[in-house]
Structure 1
Amino acid sequence: MHVYFSLGTNLGDKEQNLRLAVQHIEERIGKIVSLSAFYATAPWGFTSDNAFLNAAVCAETSLPPLEILSITQSVEQEMGRTHKSVNGEYKDRVIDIDLLLYDDLILDTPTLKLPHPLMQERRFVMEPLAEIAPDVIHPVLGKTLGDIYRDLTD
């Protein structure tokens, strides 16, 4: 299975934070298939003096999605993230690891929705994702990730 993640950080050594998150994904979830460039972006959904560094990564895995979610949440905590965003209240963070796609699986549980329900609205997610997976089809929208990125208006 191929699983796609969005990574973001706006505190500390941002490049090192992204590299460490990728290393943890490879050690605990599966072999890294592709990693995007790192993109400097403005905060989204809140005001901060700290710009973000974002990336997308794809890993091969045999783990189920809810186990992957648990692992990524543990990695976030180990790297120093003390809170998750709740009800749209976003804050500065050392690392944010979002599970975007798990092959073409559509999943809707209280703890995990796949594909990520807001990914297609966020340039900071779609730009790096379209770089590494432009021809992957969004399982709900039926469009390629490259087309979704090109159609963004934000």
Structure 2
Amino acid sequence: MNKDNTTYLSIGSNLGNRFLNIQKAIFRLNTDDSVVEKVSAVYENPAIGFQGADFLNACFSVRTNLSAEKLLQLITQIENDFGRERSSDGTYTSRVIDLDILYVSEKVMDTENLVIPHPRMTERNFVLKPLADIAPQFYHPTLKKDTRNLLQECKDESNLTKTTFALHNSRKNLFSQLQFLSIEGNIGAGKTTLTKMIAEEYNAKLVLERFAENPFLPKFYEDQSRFAFPLEMSFLADRYQQFTDDTSQFDLFKNFMVSDYDIFKSLIFAKVTLQKEEFELYKKVFNFMYKEVRKPDIYIYLYQGTERLLENIKKRGRDYEQGITAEYLDKINRGYLDFIKSHPQQTTLLIDLDSLDFVTNRNDYEYILNSIESKLIEVLHSDNF
């Protein structure tokens, strides 16, 4: 789709998680009609014209085929969705998000709802400084001066500090900062399906557990006490070999790796299925292997209640799984939750799927992506939050 207009916008926030607000609002500008291209550094400055917390401010450019009026409607909707409250008398107040259109290409317009170029942009260094990051030579169509000259002439002497926050123009660009994402869950939780969806949409190397060929699995579901130890040892050997092979090197043509299992699941399942003496032996072998494997940047656990899990297992129709009991699934869930609690140093994201259907409902899928997005931003900027 041809996007004819390069539009420059300013964005700011002084309520809540300011950087997260700004980053998520910028992502919302990526639509079928618009693409965010350049983003500036992020600057911090005091509130001007009223008493309030300090702002974070930035500027960014958008290629769009939306008219200025349609773009205004879009950013107003974004502000409303973020919960911005406007004062009834037009005075300045604190805000979760503030979006303003500065330029729409070289157009000049003055309507009831919109004046372009923005009439007060030349009075604010918190607008001109980030704008100079991305458009230093862009000429103001009426003043006939570029951004650098406007900044030099600006009389705003308020304090402006460049922060270490780094904005991304799209979620895909943000996700490319990952190296390794692990998606875990109980039997039937949907971890493999979600892993495949994320890998396809964000160009990630797909690391899938190969378990269907294990000869002990059908036998285990028939006689757990007899086949538990050979099953778990077989799984551990296979997982360790596969996991180290698949995660030892990156694919240069992929942005990151995403896996539908984490090697620690071996210990979780073994603790449920093995006798005490067997488990202690198993644990010694496991600990030796676990030290050597790659750990994920973010560990995601997809939680579903037992009743929903049993429904999913029944739907996918694997004969050897139909004898799985609610008690067994409960133990597995508790094992995963205990693992998460006992590893506070690990960056973990727990997502409750009981009321979600991310396969058929795009909004539910977006909810999951938004959750990963927020967690990743938190990880990348943990020193600043």
- Name the TM-score class by shorter chain: over 0.9
Larger Cα-atom Rg: 2
Tell me which residue corresponds to 1:26: 30
Contact 1:8 1:95 in 2 (8 A): yes
Q: Which residue of 2 aligns with 1:73?
A: 76
Alignment CA distance shift 1:117-1:36 (3 Å): same
Higher helix share: 2
SS in 2 for 1:57: strand
Q: Cα distance, 1:84 vs. partner?
A: 5.8
Equivalent residues in 2 for 1:5-154 (5 A)?
5-27=9-31, 30-48=34-52, 50-83=53-86, 86-87=89-90, 89-154=91-156
What is the aligned-residue identity percentage? 35
Say whether 1:4 aligns with 2:8.
yes
Pairs aligned (count): 152
Q: What is the Cα deviation at residue 14 of structure 1?
A: 0.5
Partner of 2:291: none
Letter of the 1:96 counterpart? D
Contact 1:81 1:94 in 2 (8 A): yes
What does residue 191 of structure 2 align with?
none
CA contact (8 A) 1:29 1:59 kept: no
CA distance in 2 between counterparts of 1:29 and 1:86 reads 34
Cα distance in 2 for partners of 1:132, 1:85 equals: 34
Q: Higher RCO, 1 or 2 (CA under 8 Å, sep at least 6)?
A: 1
Equivalent pair of 1:28/1:71 in contact (CA under 8 Å): no
* 2-structure distance, mates of 1:15, 1:66: 27
TM-score by length of 2: 0.39
Q: Structure 1, unaligned stretches of length 5 or more?
A: none
CA distance in 1, matches of 2:143, 2:23: 31
Separation (CA, whole Å) in 2 of partners of 1:103 and 1:85: 32
1:33 Cα deviation after fit: 1.4
What per-residue deviation string (whole Å, max 9, x for no partner) do you get for residues 4-43 of structure 1? 1000100000110010110011236511110001100110
Q: Distance in 2 between matches of 1:68 and 1:37?
A: 23
For 1:72-122, what per-residue CA distance to the aligned partner results, in whole angstroms no more than 9, with x for missing partners? Answer: 0000000110216854x1000000000110000000001000000000001
- The answer (yes or no) to whether the contact 1:32–1:57 under 8 Å persists in 2 is yes
1:46 CA displacement: 1.0
Amino acid at match of 1:12: G
Task: Specify the SS of the correspondent of 2:30.
Answer: helix
Gaps of 5+ in 2: 157-385
